[in-house]
Structure 1
Amino acid sequence: MSALRQARGWLSAKRRFQFVATCTMVIGLTAACGALLMLPNSVLPKIRAVVPGDAGLVATDPQVPEVRRLMDSYGKVVAEPVVTGAGKVGVVLGHPARSGDIDVLAGELAAATVAVSALWGSNWSQAPVVVVASSPAEFAALTHATGAVPAEVAAATVADPFHPGSQPEGQRVVFGPEAGRRLGADGLRTVLRHELTHIATRAVTVDGSPQWMLEGFAEYTAHRSTRQPVAQIAPTLIARARTGDLPADLPADAMFEPAGGQASLAYEQGWSACAFIASEFGEPALVNLYRQLATGPRDHAAVDRVIRESLGVSGEDFRTGWRAWITARSNEAA
């Protein structure tokens, strides 16, 4: 016992205990690091880059736990939280097999959120929930689809039932399992901005409103900051314009149906109409026109009346100016 008392006395004198403990820790850590360096690379886990300040982030939207529970039945869930501005945190969810798509979308989410807000305004959640489905069945479950989803659909937005004018809840963007392979990284970024536009505008959008405005506005937002050539954004429209084949009217809603075979042209025409408005009347006028036309179904005469009231030109003059704008863009792209 005397030896034990002597050892305790020696350790307590002059803070020797702290010194010995520190030395022991340093030796242990050095040995551990040395052992890791000796291991082959195939044994070591892959380490993801972490942005300072991102550790411990939690997505702001309260629907995330329920979405994760739904996705759990389709496999392990990977979550990438992203600070999107204004103190909000969005998230990209998926499965390990789609890690490449998840990384692309997570890397774009903050910039896409800012881009949408720059045009539309900040009166929306700004904490997007983005999901990459692993199969058609999971895509259907996440979008509440009741029938077969057309293969042409790369992504979709969904929201819980709500009253127009109120802030929607349960909104999310869902990408199909083949979206990354079909679209590539640039295509994923563009579609993300398009779908986020639908989320941002949903509170003022009534189902049945003219599709050329709803989809054209989302396309305009998606391409607004990309500096892509017009011939790349609207290849079919420009190719036809070069032969003198110009649209006689704004695209009808039926053209946007995937099964009709005209959806690509309809989206291009919708984009061009909104790009023409922004170019000739200004982006605030485009946003205002969206708000005026997104209030429900309208016939041809009602659309022309809103155009006159919002832009100060007749429907006929609007279409003439739009066709001239398309022709000018096709000549520039030649």
Structure 2
Amino acid sequence: MRRVLILGAVLLLAALAVSLVEDPAPATSSPTGSPLAPETTQQPTEVNAISDRCKANGPEQMRELIEQLAELCEPAAATVDQAWGTSWAQGSRQRTQLTIAGGVDELAELLKRTDTKGLVETAAVTVGPKNAPADAVFVNGPAFVELSDLGREVVLTHELVHVAARATGDSAAPTWLEEGFADYVAYRYTDLLPRQVAEEALAAPLPEALPATDDFDAAGAEVAVAYGRSWAAVMLLAERLGSDAAVKSFYERTVDAGIGDALRSAGFENENDFVQAWRQEIEELAAA
């Protein structure tokens, strides 16, 4: 989920988190036992749009946004392909499902929530059964409409990174790495300055520890700081490792062997060593 944040003259988002369903809903596997995408809610007077990489649907009042998102999915998915490869979008997963809600009440219903806490500020949520491919993205239409074209592409790219990681079984990385990597990919070709991407994080006092999962609560006051710091952490890793393939391998190693092993493979003695380098990275980004 992402909280709408004004960065310079561009409306972007600063708090996006993957929403995992702890228990798969009934009928979420095929006759062969392979997981299926979460069901989407059929909405009155539903509008549908399709492109090579996405299927978008939502209410009539969101028609223009629905059609734009289906089209925008093409460059967003291509950006993810460059960073993650193309295995995440093969076969039945070739097209990601985008469901656009007409408001927060509708979004809460799609998410099977009984309240709308934090949803006003939420632009999009990637959902799916835990430990299964997640190929559905729920979009808060009114929040998305307020974004610039660049902001929309950034958010959609960020969400598709989550879809890619989960579709290839890499959904158990630390939250700061999941979110930081998604922002790293989403912002990489925008030409935005560091202070435009992570203004609140770069202005805050230097952190003592990496962001915890609770720091990414969309209703929290410091969520933008958590996302900006996570982006800075992945920027450091990208500089140290030197290639998209190496950053992806680091990500996968955290899932398979743990964060300590992954950090050692990247040349850091331990997490404290990484934190010290990360603090220096934040200082350098703030001065850029």
Q: TM-score, normalised by structure 2?
A: 0.76
Alpha-carbon separation, structure 1, partners of 2:252 and 2:237: 14
Partner of 1:23: none
Amino acid paired to 1:251: P
Partner of 1:311: 266
Write out per-residue CA displacement over residues 258-302 of structure 1, whole angstroms, 9 at most, x where no aligned residue.
233111100111111011111221232221121122359xxxxx6
Alpha-carbon separation, structure 2, partners of 1:117 and 1:311: 23
Offset of residue 175 of structure 1? 0.6
Alignment pair present for 1:205 and 2:170: yes
Contact 1:140 1:149 in 2 (8 A): no
Partner of 2:247: 286
Instruction: Return the match for 1:230 from 175, 191, 194.
Output: 194
Alignment pair present for 1:254 and 2:253: no
Amino acid paired to 2:231: W
Offset of residue 101 of structure 1? 2.0
**Corresponding residue pairs, total:** 245
Alpha-carbon separation, structure 1, partners of 2:115 and 2:178: 23
Offset of residue 145 of structure 1? 3.3
Partner of 1:272: 232
Instruction: Return the match for 2:150 from 175, 186, 195.
Output: 186
Offset of residue 168 of structure 1? 2.0
Write out per-residue CA displacement over residues 232-270 of structure 1, whole angstroms, 9 at most, x where no aligned residue.
101112223xxxx32222112221112331111001111
Contact 2:201 2:224 in 1 (8 A): no
Write out per-residue CA displacement over residues 26-50 of structure 1, whole angstroms, 9 at most, x where no aligned residue.
xxxxxxxxxxxxxxxxxxxxxxxxx
Amino acid paired to 1:215: E
Partner of 1:35: none
Partner of 1:152: 121
Whichever of the two has the greater Rg, that structure is 1
Q: Which runs of 5+ in 2 are unaligned?
A: 1-35
Amino acid paired to 2:42: M
Alpha-carbon separation, structure 2, partners of 1:210 and 1:146: 28
Partner of 2:133: 168
Alpha-carbon separation, structure 1, partners of 2:274 and 2:133: 33
In structure 1, the residue corresponding to 2:88 is in which secondary structure?
coil
Contact 1:101 1:185 in 2 (8 A): no
Alignment pair present for 1:100 and 2:79: no
In structure 2, the residue corresponding to 1:319 is in which secondary structure?
helix
Alignment pair present for 1:324 and 2:280: yes
Alpha-carbon separation, structure 2, partners of 1:107 and 1:140: 25
Contact 2:201 2:228 in 1 (8 A): yes
In structure 1, the residue corresponding to 2:87 is in which secondary structure?
coil
Partner of 1:299: none
Contact 1:204 1:295 in 2 (8 A): no
**Deviation beyond 4 Å, 4+ runs, structure 1:** none
CA RMSD in angstroms, aligned pairs only: 2.4
Contact 1:204 1:294 in 2 (8 A): no
Instruction: Return the match for 2:88 from 120, 124, 135.
Output: 124
Q: Which runs of 5+ in 1 are unaligned?
A: 1-61, 85-89, 297-301
Offset of residue 224 of structure 1? 1.6
Write out per-residue CA displacement over residues 207-237 of structure 1, whole angstroms, 9 at most, x where no aligned residue.
5x42101111111111122221111101112
Q: TM-score, normalised by structure 1?
A: 0.67
| Structure (1 or 2) with the greater helix fraction | 1
Higher relative CO (Cα under 8 Å, sequence separation at least 6) belongs to 2
Contact 2:48 2:55 in 1 (8 A): yes
Alpha-carbon separation, structure 1, partners of 2:191 and 2:113: 35
Alpha-carbon separation, structure 1, partners of 2:74 and 2:158: 14
Contact 2:253 2:261 in 1 (8 A): no
Offset of residue 189 of structure 1? 1.3
Offset of residue 178 of structure 1? 2.0
Instruction: Return the match for 2:179 from 211, 215, 238.
Output: 215
In structure 2, the residue corresponding to 1:124 is in which secondary structure?
helix
Contact 2:123 2:139 in 1 (8 A): yes
Alpha-carbon separation, structure 2, partners of 1:146 and 1:196: 26
Write out per-residue CA displacement over residues 169-199 of structure 1, whole angstroms, 9 at most, x where no aligned residue.
6x21111132224433322211101111111
Alpha-carbon separation, structure 2, partners of 1:215 and 1:63: 22
In structure 2, the residue corresponding to 1:92 is in which secondary structure?
strand
Alpha-carbon separation, structure 2, partners of 1:231 and 1:180: 22
Amino acid paired to 2:116: A
- 1:14-53 pair list within 5 angstroms: none
Alpha-carbon separation, structure 2, partners of 1:238 and 1:260: 18
Partner of 1:71: 42
Identical-residue share of aligned pairs (%) = 30
Indicate how the Cα distance of structure 1 residues 206 and 128 shifts in structure 2: closer, same or farther if over 3 A, else same: closer
Alpha-carbon separation, structure 1, partners of 2:73 and 2:193: 23
Alpha-carbon separation, structure 2, partners of 1:278 and 1:132: 33
